[in-house]
Structure 1
C-alpha cells in the first residue's frame, strides 16, 4: 500500500483511535454544514429556534472560556517533554510545534481577539476535551513509534515548513479580524479585508488546517493523519457556516469569495 511509505506501521490501538478521531471530526463538520453549529461564535445555530439556543444555561465570558479550552492541550504538549524525554528529533519537533500552537491560541484568546458574548460551559468542555485528548493521543501515538523502522519517505522537514506557514498565516488573519471590531459590547461586524480575505472568508481556518497537516507530516503516524483529515473536514463545514452567515448579514457580500479554499470551496 503506497500510503505505508509515508507512515509508521500502525497497531490495533493506533488504528482504532485514528478511526474514532476521524469519524468524530468529520461528523462535526457535517453537522456544521447542516446548520447545527457549536456555540462559540456569532455563527451559532443560524436559523435555529430560540429555545434551542437557551439549552445551555451556565455560561462564561468568551475570553475566559476560549483561553481555558486551549490550556489543557498546551499543558499536554509542555508536560510531554518531561514524560517522554530524550527521544528523537522528530518527536522533539512534534512536541514543540504542538506546544507552540496551543500557547499561541491561549495568548490570542487573552490579548488579541475581541469578544462581545458568552460561551456555554458544556460547549467549552466539549471543545476543551477534544483538543486535549487529541493532542495527548498524537503525542502518545508518536511515543509508540520509538524503536520502529522509519517510514521510507521522510516528511519531517516539509511538515515543519507547513507548520511554520500555517501558524504565521493563521496569526496574521486573526490579527486582521481583531481590527474589524471595537472593544466592548458593540456587536458591529464588517466584511473582512486584506490578506486572503479577498479569496476566502476563512483564511484563518485554511492556515489552521496547514498547522494540523504540519503535525501529521512531522509525526507520520496514522492517528496524526486521521486527525488532520478530520480537522480539515470539520473546518470546511465551519467555514461554510461562516460564509452563509455573512451572506445573510451583508447584501454586498462578494459572491466570488469562497468559504475556505480559494476558487474551489
Structure 2
C-alpha cells in the first residue's frame, strides 16, 4: 500500500468515486473483450451499413441497429461535445489555483476540443453511426471527464505523492495528442473527396508497422491524464481505456486481414513488432 501511495493520492472519501473506479474498469475491459469476440460498437468500419472496401470481397449485409442511426459526423460530435463542455465549464464551476488541477482541466479540454476540430475539419464521412453505440461512448467520455475532475477536487490540500509524475504526464500528453492528430490526417487522406466509402490499407507514419497508431497515441493521452492527476480514478479509467483500445485494435487488424488479401502480415495491431 505504501508503494501505491507513493504514486497516487489516497482513495477519496466518496462511495461514488470508489465504486465507479471499479465499475468503469470492468465495463471498459468487458467492451474490449467484446470487440475481440466480434461484438463491435457500431461506428467507423464496424458499422456495416453501406460499407465497402477496395478488395474483391463482397459487400457485407446491412445490419439493423436497435435505436437506429444518424450521420457519422453528427455521431462523432455527440461523442466529444458533452465531455468538452464538462472540462471547459470546470474552469468556472470549480475555480482553483492548484497547478495539478489546472493542468488536468486544460488537458481534458484541449483533448476533446481537438477531437471536435478533427470531426469538423479533418475527418471525411460517408456512413452512419448507430445511436446506441454513440450514446454508450458519449456517456463514458462525459462521465469519466466529470469524475476525473471530481476526484481531483478531493486532493486539494492533501500532501503530494512522493513521486511527481507531472513532467512525464505533460510530455506524454504532447506526444500523444500530436501523434494521434498526425495519424488521423493520414487516415483522412485515404478517403475520396466525393465521400465514397472505400477503405484502403493505411500507409505512412507508424501505419507501416501497426494498423492502429492513432489508438496507441490515444492511449498515451489517457495515461497522461493519470500522470498529471495521480488519482485512483484516473488510473482505473486509463487502464480500462487501454483494455478497450487493445480489443478494438485487435478487431481492426482482423477486419483488414479479412478484407484485403494483400494486407502485410508483419503489420501488428497496436504495438510495433509485438502485438
Alignment RMSD (CA, Å): 1.6
2:69 paired with 1:59 = yes
Match of 1:19 among 7, 19, 22: 22
1:115–1:184 CA contact under 8 A, matched in 2: no
Any gaps of 5 or more consecutive residues in structure 2? 52-59
- Superposed CA deviations along residues 202-242 of structure 1, whole A, max 9, x for unmatched, are 00000000000000000000000000000001000000110
Alpha-carbon distance in 2 for matches of 1:61, 1:44: 11
Match of 2:10 in 1: 9
Per the TM alignment, residue 247 of structure 1 is displaced from its structure 2 partner at its CA by: 0.3
Aligned residues: 262
Alpha-carbon distance in 2 for matches of 1:144, 1:226: 17
Any gaps of 5 or more consecutive residues in structure 1? none
Match of 2:252 in 1: 242
Per the TM alignment, residue 15 of structure 1 is displaced from its structure 2 partner at its CA by: 2.5
Match of 1:169 in 2: 179
| Alignment of structure 1 residues 1-265 onto 2, 5 Å | 1=1, 2-11=3-12, 12-13=14-15, 14-44=17-47, 53-265=63-275
Per the TM alignment, residue 55 of structure 1 is displaced from its structure 2 partner at its CA by: 3.1
Q: CA distance change for structure 1 residues 154 and 57 in 2, over 3 Å: closer, same or farther?
A: closer
Deviating above 6 A after TM superposition, structure 1's stretches of 4 or more consecutive aligned residues are none
- Superposed CA deviations along residues 63-106 of structure 1, whole A, max 9, x for unmatched, are 11101220000001000001111231011000000000000001
Alpha-carbon distance in 1 for matches of 2:47, 2:36: 12
- Superposed CA deviations along residues 11-57 of structure 1, whole A, max 9, x for unmatched, are 353332211111111111000011000001112479xx958x21335
Per the TM alignment, residue 264 of structure 1 is displaced from its structure 2 partner at its CA by: 1.3
- Superposed CA deviations along residues 156-210 of structure 1, whole A, max 9, x for unmatched, are 1110110110000000000000000113341211111110011100000000000
Per the TM alignment, residue 243 of structure 1 is displaced from its structure 2 partner at its CA by: 0.3
1:43–1:241 CA contact under 8 A, matched in 2: no
- Superposed CA deviations along residues 101-126 of structure 1, whole A, max 9, x for unmatched, are 00000110111111111112222111
- Higher alpha-carbon deviation: 15-24 or 157-166: 15-24
